[in-house]
Amino acid sequence: MDLLPLHQERVNHARRKLFGIKKQLNLRTYLAQQVLPATGYHKIRIVYDQGIQSFSCTPYSPRKVSTLRIVELEPFNYRFKYANRSELDKAFTYRDGCDDILMSWNSYLTDTYYGNIALHDGHKWWTPAHPLLKGVRRASLCRQEQLHPTLIRVPDLKYFKELRIINAMIPLADSVPISMDQIFLPGAALV
């Protein structure tokens, strides 16, 4: 639950921006009232607007991703982690044999279908400055200065040694490295 304060910030920000609501939904209090599993790794999902609409807690196991297809997108808004993922779902259909997609707008990298990205150049970890969604894990790593936001274009991938996918459920240290030769341009054949 180390990321709970960042989830709380995101909820408060989204409710202010989308609904003009300043009153906070207290996630810690809400979760304390739920029956949660005592063991195992679980993903909690809270859907909200003016109030909480639904809650779920399901077992979680990370997807195995070893190949990425670069997909150039038309801009769309996903900055508040909407329940409607139809634009992301549509983009995911273009993975063409790869496990996941690496999205870009005007050749600037953003994220994958399942999370933000961290790229290592041999010295530092970098992340796109303008992802579709500024996830809580990404925010935490940026605040700790373990991850450095910058503009990264598709041609810049040659300067990096590995890519990792991070999200609230996958810490950087636990993320599986993806080799740069396993990132494919549209139409390129898988080896």
Q: What are the sequence ranges of the domains in the chain?
A: 4-59, 68-184
Q: Does domain 68-184 have CATH number 3.20.10.10?
A: yes
What's the pLDDT tens digit per position in 70-95?
A: 999 987 778 878 888 899 999 999 99
DSSP string, 58-125: EE--------EEEEE------TT--S--HHHHHHHGGGTTSSEEEEEETTEEEEESSSEEEEE-SS-E
pTM equals: 0.91
Q: Can you read off the two tokens belonging to residue 19?
A: 């609904």
What's the pLDDT tens digit per position in 28-84?
A: 999 999 999 999 999 999 998 888 999 999 999 988 999 999 999 987 778 878 888
> Which residues contact residue 135 at a Cβ distance below 8 angstroms, ignoring those fewer than 6 apart?
111, 115, 116, 166, 167, 168
